[in-house]
Amino acid sequence: MGLSLVPPQPSDVSPPKTTVADAGHREDRDPHKLPVFDVKSMEAPTTSTLYLPPLLSSLPHALPPIETHDPKLATETRLPDIDPVSLSLHKALHKFRPIHSDYSLVTYADAFNWNELELPEDEEREWYCVAFRSKRKAGSDSTPLYEADKKAHEEAISNGGLILYWYGVPHAETGMNLATCIWQSRKHARAANSRPHHIRAMRLAANSYEVYQLERYKLTKAKGTRHLAVEPFDGEEVGW
């Protein structure tokens, strides 16, 4: 459950060669800006992309609200609607990166630098994670999927609860790719899944990919430690 966006792999071009150095590298971009979803930018991605929805602090009630003309910012993803521990996670995730060039082939827990992300020791919480492993079909038409993915992404942001979206680069030998979302709760992810643009994107993805695997996890922060733990999703509600 979560965003349907999966980084497309060009069907008629060999995937870019991925090295160990590339695993932790991404282009120098503001992680709070929406990724660009078009054929030119996504047919042959060469770097991974990290997106962290911006968190806008509410003003004191005595002051008038600030008007924004950007619909991506006029969402429920703003303080104080986000809880303090999720805000700590948001800050830590600015350092989020893969640690293995084969991140699309290894386990989710081994793919990223979870042990480098630290939160205050006295905080505790759990979050819902979704991982997508994919491989494009040869000759599939990407254009409708790009447009559907763009709308699904904007739809999910407007829904609220999205903390992180990250996608990688197709593996040089296998063509497999990995993308992931972290949500404040499973309920947020389920709400985003029920939106019409998400449903359309999922249907298009089923026809565009040779492999399209969905994995679910629970990200846990326990009191007494500064570190995070990745656990398999056990079917119970996650977060709040």
| pLDDT, average across residues 25-44 | 63
Question: In percent, how much of the chain has pLDDT > 90?
Answer: 32
**Could you tell me which residue, 51 or 21, shows the higher pLDDT?**
51
- Strands 56-57 and 49-51: what pairing? unpaired
pLDDT tens across 2-34, in order? Answer: 454 444 444 444 444 444 444 544 456 788 887
Amino acid residing at 182: I
Report the range of poorest mean pLDDT among 70-74, 83-87, 160-164, 192-196. Answer: 70-74
Predicted local distance difference test score (pLDDT) of residue 158 = 62
Asked whether the predicted pLDDT for residue 219 surpasses 50, the reply is: yes
Residue 26's Cβ-side half-sphere holds a number of Cα atoms within 13 Å equal to 18
Show the tokens assigned to 235: 């079917």
Predicted local distance difference test score (pLDDT) of residue 131 = 93
Predicted local distance difference test score (pLDDT) of residue 11 = 42
Q: How far apart are CA 167 and CA 229, in angstroms?
A: 21
Q: How far apart are CA 237 and CA 218, in angstroms?
A: 10
Band (pLDDT 50/70/90 cuts) for residue 68 is very low
Q: Which ranges of the chain would DSSP assign to H, the alpha helix?
A: 20-23, 39-42, 84-92, 108-111, 143-159, 186-193, 196-208
Domains of the chain: residue spans and CATH = 20-26+48-55+70-232 (3.30.70.100)
pTM: 0.74
Band (pLDDT 50/70/90 cuts) for residue 79 is very low
